[in-house]
Amino acid sequence: MRNNNSAVIILPVVVVVVASTIIATNFSSFSFGQNETNTQLVGLNYIKEFDSNGKFITSWGTKGSGPGQFLHAHGIGLDSAGNVYVSDAENYKIQKFDSNGKFITSWGTKGSGPGQFIQPESIVVDSNGNIFVADFGNSRIQKFDSNGKFITSWGSKGSGQGQFKGPWGVAVDSAGNVYVSDQKNPVVQKFDNNGKFITSWGSKGSGEGQFVHLHDIAVDSDDNVYVTDGRENSRVSKFDSNGKFITSWGSKGSGPGQFNEDHGIDIDSSGNIYVVDTRNYRIQKFSPDGTFIRQWGSTGCGPDQFLIAHDLKIDSSDNVYISDSGNVHFKLEAKC
């Protein structure tokens, strides 16, 4: 999608039927340039909510740095009360909303002190309402209470036990144990709720239990662990809670069950798995054994469209919340 020579492409309205889903693509005039962003994204909302079949429910969040605004919406976390927590990698903060998108509070500034961030990524909330944030640029995990009060943190830059090179995904199991996927060091590490190291697994490669470019991580009701491994491997891998490999699925492409930069992942109450397929501008839904069920999404700023979808979380009613980072990775000129 990146091209050193910007070009304008005029594309018509196209309706594509794939499997059980109809995807409507309505493009305006797009111009792609390398490492550029467009500040005008009128009509884009950064947080979107759908039902479990991909039907749009609501959205919120515009571009900016004020309450309810984002520059780079990334991680999403949900608590038992239905509150939504969103990390902003370029505003260096976490924002808290109710389930309808009403702003409640925020915390964080740029830095390396407690409660500060450098590129906060994924978020997860445990059964006690504690919030864990993957603080990518500081090579650590930070833990907060539900109002953003700092509790503890762990991690330093490195590849040893309890160290990280680029912590990206974070998840918790039924016992409150914390799992972290490291994008720059292809391992998953497991900790107790306060950051004490328990175990780890993974190495670089394409074999069973190996990773190339780890993104997000999720845990199901049986404490099985799912990780998205983007780019070269383009797949989802499933493990038990101790890191024993169970299965995997996916390959690079744009067909059902294929991925082009798979990112966020979560599991609904029936064990179905939802995956953000970022560069295919869609969400894919799979059965517990990895069988493709449906997909939704296309490129654009509409209610059921995406620019750079990143994370995904599912609430107790199986509604799906998705973060869209806008155009932070490329220039997009469009009438949204």
pLDDT digits (tens, 9 = 90+) for 181-212: 999 999 999 999 999 999 999 999 999 999 99
Q: What is the DSSP letter of 136?
A: G
Amino acid identity, position 24: A
Query: How far is C-alpha 9 from the chain's CA centre?
Result: 29
User: What whole-number distance in Å separates Cα of residue 30 and Cα of residue 32?
Assistant: 6
User: What whole-number distance in Å separates Cα of residue 7 and Cα of residue 252?
Assistant: 26
CA distances from 83 to 146, 159, 321 (A): 10, 34, 11
209 with 245: CB under 8 angstroms? Answer: yes
Amino acid identity, position 309: A
Q: In the predicted model, what is the mean pLDDT of residues 316-332?
A: 82
Tens digit of each residue's pLDDT (9 = 90 or more) over 275-294: 999 999 999 999 999 999 99
Tokens read off for 315:
């609430």
Give SS3 for 173: coil
User: What whole-number distance in Å separates Cα of residue 184 and Cα of residue 303?
Assistant: 33
- What is the percent of the chain with per-residue pLDDT over 70, rounded to a whole number? 85
CA distances from 51 to 253, 268, 283, 318 (A): 26, 11, 12, 7
274 with 312: CB under 8 angstroms? Answer: yes
Tens digit of each residue's pLDDT (9 = 90 or more) over 28-56: 333 333 333 445 576 789 999 999 999 99
Instruction: State the pLDDT at residue 327.
Output: 73
Instruction: State the pLDDT at residue 336.
Output: 59
Q: pLDDT confidence of 72, banded at 50, 70, 90?
A: very high
User: What whole-number distance in Å separates Cα of residue 50 and Cα of residue 29?
Assistant: 27
Q: pLDDT confidence of 326, banded at 50, 70, 90?
A: confident
pLDDT averaged over every residue in the chain: 88
Q: Please, what sign has the CA dihedral across residues 230, 231, 236, 238? A: negative
User: What whole-number distance in Å separates Cα of residue 180 and Cα of residue 191?
Assistant: 8
More reliable by pLDDT, 327 or 213 = 213
321: CB partners within 8 A, 6+ apart: 47, 48, 49, 76, 78, 84, 312, 313, 314, 315
pTM of the model: 0.87
